[in-house]
Amino acid sequence: MTTTPRNPATAASGRPPVVDLATWQAARDELLVREKAHTHQGDALAAARRRLPMVEVDGTVEVVGPDGPVPFPDLFQGREELVVYQHMWYDGAPHQGQCEGCTNAAWHLRDAVYLNARGVSFAVLTTGRWDEVASYVAFMGYTQPWYSVRDVDPPVGGGMGHLSCFLRDGDRTFLTYSTTGRGNEPANGSFGLLDMTPRGRGEAWEDVPEGWPEGRHACWYWRSDADGNATWGPTSRPVPQWTRPGATPVETLGRHGHPS
């Protein structure tokens, strides 16, 4: 059932005009042409990624996990391909003070069964000391493999906040692709869904219709207080951490900075 059309000029402030279904469908079909072009361009970019040259990884590199040091190739778990998320780390910070952006990405990558079904393994790497990392992983309830790459050189160690892809050929492993910033967004399904909604992400950089609620700093909603209010205040923490048993407001927030 549809609503009765009314004059768009009388629509409530901050809302799209109300039209009949046929008018909506025509506008939707027009946008679909642009969406398909965007999809095809994405396909072309993916094809270009598959043709990037590779960088060989030192086969002697070891990372530290729950069972101690292991060779980096072990992270492939016998599969041909590996995707890693390189999680930023603040030494000595409490759990609620770790990087909210990386927390966001890792939370959306809790289960890799569909990657595994396509011959791809997944792991999280971070520069934190393993004793601190292990405690954080337990607090968050993560089930994916985590490893410390402290003092490990790039491309396995080095810059954090990246998604990187590796290929294994027998005993040899290679870096094939890496991205950061908004390049990490494909791992976060929430972003794609928010982009489909009328209000979008609610970030200040977005192009929105006149009368829309004013956007806020990028990723402002990644931290909230105990009541769910978005905040960067002293009792804030990355949103999913409030789901942990016994989570309570604290005054010991670790280092953090607004994402750029």
Domain ranges of the chain: 55-185
> In 149-188, which ranges are continuous DSSP H helix?
none
**Most confidently predicted of 4-18, 125-139, 239-253:** 125-139
Q: Is the pLDDT of residue 190 over 70?
A: yes
Q: What is the pLDDT of residue 250?
A: 65
Question: Which residue in 217, 188, 223 sits closest to 203, CA to CA?
Answer: 217
CATH classification of 55-185, choosing from 3.40.50.170, 3.20.20.70, 3.40.30.10, 3.40.50.150? 3.40.30.10
Residues with Cβ within 8 Å of residue 155, at least 6 apart in sequence: 55, 57, 164, 175, 178
Q: Is the pLDDT of residue 12 over 60?
A: no
Report d(CA 133, CA 65) in Å as an integer: 9
User: CA 79, 80, 81, 82 torsion: positive or negative?
Assistant: positive
pLDDT tier at 253 (50, 70, 90 boundaries)?
low
Q: Is the pLDDT of residue 175 over 70?
A: yes
Q: What is the pLDDT of residue 116?
A: 96
Query: What integer best gives the mean pLDDT of the chain?
Result: 87
- Tens digits of residue pLDDT in 41-67: 999 999 999 999 999 999 899 999 999
Q: What is the pLDDT of residue 1?
A: 34
10 Å Cβ neighbour count for 258? 10
195 or 244, which is more confident: 195
Q: Is the pLDDT of residue 13 over 70?
A: no
